[in-house]
Amino acid sequence: DAGVIQSPRHEVTEMGQEVTLRCKPISGHNSLFWYRQTMMRGLELLIYFNNNVPIDDSGMPEDRFSAKMPNASFSTLKIQPSEPRDSAVYFCASSSIALGQADQPQHFGDGTRLSIL
């Protein structure tokens, strides 16, 4: 079975440029999560969707970050304009959450390593 697929795996760009990260969740999963991982702050939840609807975006650092999920099989995380402090590894995860099954695990992609120069 295909897992969570993220692209690109690596992105290097100059500050001020727009960056778009992409995620394809596991087929049949109805929840999708975007995380950021840095040495200083560890893993941070940025936003999560349930049935394509954003449920909690309180972790999005500022207005430069936006996320969309136009359908059940695709999501994007966009940074515009990008800044050097946005450099991190960004992970997408998906899960199948149904009523009464709150303990379903999340399945992670291999991440996008983003470097903003």
Partner 1 sequence: AQSVTQLDSHVSVSEGTPVLLRCNYSSSYSPSLFWYVQHPNKGLQLLLKYTSAATLVKGINGFEAEFKKSETSFHLTKPSAHMSDAAEYFCVTRSNTGKLIFGQGTTLQVKP
Restricted to residues 20-79, the positions that interact with partner 1 (CB under 8 A) are 33, 42-43, 45, 48, 56
113 burial via Cβ count (<10 Å: 0-12, 13-18, 19+): middle
Tokens of 10: 């690596």
Map the footprint of partner 1 across residues 87-106, applying CB under 8 A. Answer: 91, 93, 97, 102-103, 105-106
Does the protein bind partner 1 through residue 109 (CB under 8 A)?
yes
Residue 115, amino acid: S
Q: Shortest distance, CB of residue 16 to partner 1, whole angstroms?
A: 27
How many residues sit close enough to partner 1 to count as binding (CB under 8 A)?
20
Q: Which is nearer to partner 1, 45 or 72 (by Cβ)?
A: 45
Smallest separation, CB 52 to partner 1 (Å): 17
As to burial, measured by CB atoms within 10 angstroms (0-12 exposed, 13-18 middle, 19+ buried), residue 87 is middle
The residues that touch partner 1, with contacts defined as CB under 8 A, are 4, 33, 42-43, 45, 48, 56, 91, 93, 97, 102-103, 105-111, 113
